[in-house]
Structure formats: structure tokens, C-alpha cells
Amino acid sequence: MSLPGAFPLSVPSTSPTEPPSLYAAREPIFPRRVKGTFRTLKWWLLALMLGIYYVTPWLRWDRGPNLPDQAVLLDLGGRRFFFFMIEIWPQEFYFVAGLLIMAGLGLFLFTSAAGRVWCGYACPQTVWTDLFILVERWIEGDRNARLRLHHQAWDLEKLRKRAVKWTVWFLIGLAT
């Protein structure tokens, strides 16, 4: 017995002998461009986070003769870790363990108090997703243009745009 207006619990099948299909085709998502104060802040933070990620390996720090001059370096051959003016040897690992415990607790406390701020603005998943969507928007256009491109038949324009987008995505992944 079913209530009027209630949805059936099972999916109707196309034939009495065939079981119902539980597969749904992939539906692509085409986000709209958002403008505003918080979105501008998010773009600035994206540039800052990616800048830190890509520039840090190239920073130099003078430590004196016969020492590496890279600011942040994990020296596996010399069994030590350099972080700007700090040099950590294996026997000092308890400092690193303490720092990691404090960082974990700090991350826990921060995300419990302001988790949306972390997930929405600084999480690496969000930063790279925004970067890939930005590249897609630059190459294929805004939401309506991407919808039109998705629904149009494969021709040279669609193939060119998709190939350029995927190539740029590959280069970003390669640089990462």
C-alpha cells in the first residue's frame, strides 16, 4: 500500500524479466562565474598559496661554506632537514614530532572553529580545483559557452578547445 503522492521505493524496470538499472550516466557540472568581495579574496589567497607552493623550492638561504643554500630542503644524503635558519638532524626528531603534534592540534582546533574558512579558501583541494576551473573558463568560455560546447557535435573547434584545455591541465599537473 502506498500513500498518495509518495515516490515508489524501487526503480521501474523496462521489462518484467530485466532488473532495474542502478546506473546513472555522468552529468557534468558547469559552475557559473561568481563575483564579489569574498570571491576576490579567494582569488588573492589562491595566488598567494600557489605562489608559496611554486616559489619555495627556489628560495635561497646563505648558511655558510659547504652547506646547501636552499631555504627549505630535505637532505636525504646528509640525513638532515633545513628550514630557513633551522637545521634538524635525525637525533632531534622529537622536536619535529612535537611540532607535528602541535600542528595537528592547531589544525583540529582551527577547523573546528573556522572549518569553512579552511575548506573554502586555503585547502589544497580547493586551490587546485579553482585553478583548473579558471583554466577551463579561460579556454572554453563561461558557463553558457561551456554548455553549448558540451552539447555540440565533435568538430575541429571543440577538439581544439578540449585539446588545449587538457594540455594546460596536464602541464599544471606536471609542474605540481
Tell me the C-alpha distance between 48 and 122, whole Å: 10
Residues 131 and 46 sit within 8 Å (Cβ to Cβ): yes
Question: Given a cut of 70, is residue 78 above it in pLDDT?
Answer: yes
Q: How many CA atoms lie within 13 A of 80 on its CB side?
A: 12
In single-letter form, the type of residue at position 45 comes to L
C-alpha cell at 76: 636525504
pLDDT tens for residues 124-171? 889 999 999 999 999 999 999 999 999 999 999 999 999 999 999 999
What's the mean pLDDT when you consider all of the chain?
87
* Residue-level pLDDT at 96: 82
Tell me the C-alpha distance between 122 and 144, whole Å: 28
Tell me the C-alpha distance between 11 and 72, whole Å: 57
Tell me the C-alpha distance between 38 and 41, whole Å: 5
pLDDT tens for residues 81-93? 888 988 888 888 8
Q: How confident is the model at residue 66 (pLDDT cuts 50, 70, 90)?
A: confident
Of 40 and 27, which is predicted with more confidence? 40
